[in-house]
Amino acid sequence: MPTIRSLLPLLALSAAAACGSDDNLPDPTEENVVDTVTVGSLTDTPITTASGFSVSLGPIRTDLSPDFDFAYDIQGDPVSGTRVLLPRAALGILSSNAAEPGVLLRSEAFDDIEAAPSNGYVTEDAVPVALGERYVVRSRVVCGIGVPLYAKVEIIGFDDNSLTLKVLANTNCGYRGLEPGFPDR
């Protein structure tokens, strides 16, 4: 029976091949679809309200799981305060790898965001948000090949202490494509 030490070179080669180019990736198994989700603020909603968002899972109750990529909150007064997205590191939840979850403001229309960039994500600070803004979201590393997942979101509503997002999440490991259907990149 092979030992773990003898398998390390094979694992490293597999990971490098998987990250090298899209041609080395297995065919995608999940279609990218547009959805609408709502999350409540961390501090001004009942604890039973989902305040976190995970690219791979959707809305997450932060009291039950740390498996979210960002949380939503209102800093200051719930009516007039600043609405923010809080990547995990902004909450003091650090990952054990180099790719922290983060958000990246984009200027193009939601439908024109075709692929997620590799870098440039805000990972450690609160990100103020406004109605109509669009972001690309990088998840925590959830894939067996050591890479994050990606999504694009648009802020489509605020209601009392909640945030409503238009979302397209790509849950295919290694793919960055953010268009409906099976990703090709």
Residues 48-70 pLDDT 10s: 999 999 999 999 999 999 999 99
pTM of the model: 0.85
pLDDT above 80: residue 97? no
Compute the C-alpha angle 140/146/150, nearest 5°: 45
Summary mean pLDDT of the chain: 90
Contact 178, 152 (CB under 8 A): yes
Average pLDDT, stretch 151-155? 99
Residue 75 CA, distance from chain mean position? 21
Q: Which residues contact 65 (CB under 8 A, 6 or more apart)?
A: 52
Cβ neighbours of 165 (radius 10 Å): 24
Per the structure block, which two tokens stand in for 166?
């238009």
Rg of the chain's alpha carbons, rounded to an integer?
17
pLDDT at 78: 86
Look at residue 149 and give its three-state secondary structure.
strand
Confidence category of residue 96, pLDDT binned at 50, 70, 90: confident
Residue 155: what pLDDT? 99
- The count of other CB atoms within 10 Å of the CB of residue 91 is 18
Compute the average pLDDT of residues 95-107.
Answer: 91
- How high is the pLDDT of residue 32? 98
Please give the Cα distance from 172 to 124 (Å, whole number).
25
Question: Which has more confidence, 17 or 78?
Answer: 78
User: How many whole angstroms separate alpha carbon 49 and alpha carbon 45?
Assistant: 6
Min mean pLDDT across 18-22, 33-37, 73-77, 131-135 is at 18-22
Q: Of 155, 149, 162, 158, which Cα lies nearest the Cα of 69? A: 149
Give the pLDDT score at 174.
Answer: 95
- How far apart CA 96 and CA 94 sit, in angstroms, is 7
Looking at residue 16, its pLDDT comes to 47
Neighbours of 177 (CB within 10 A): 20
Distance, CA of 37 to CA of 169 (rounded, Å): 11
Residue, of 92 and 7, whose pLDDT is higher = 92
pLDDT of residue 93: 93
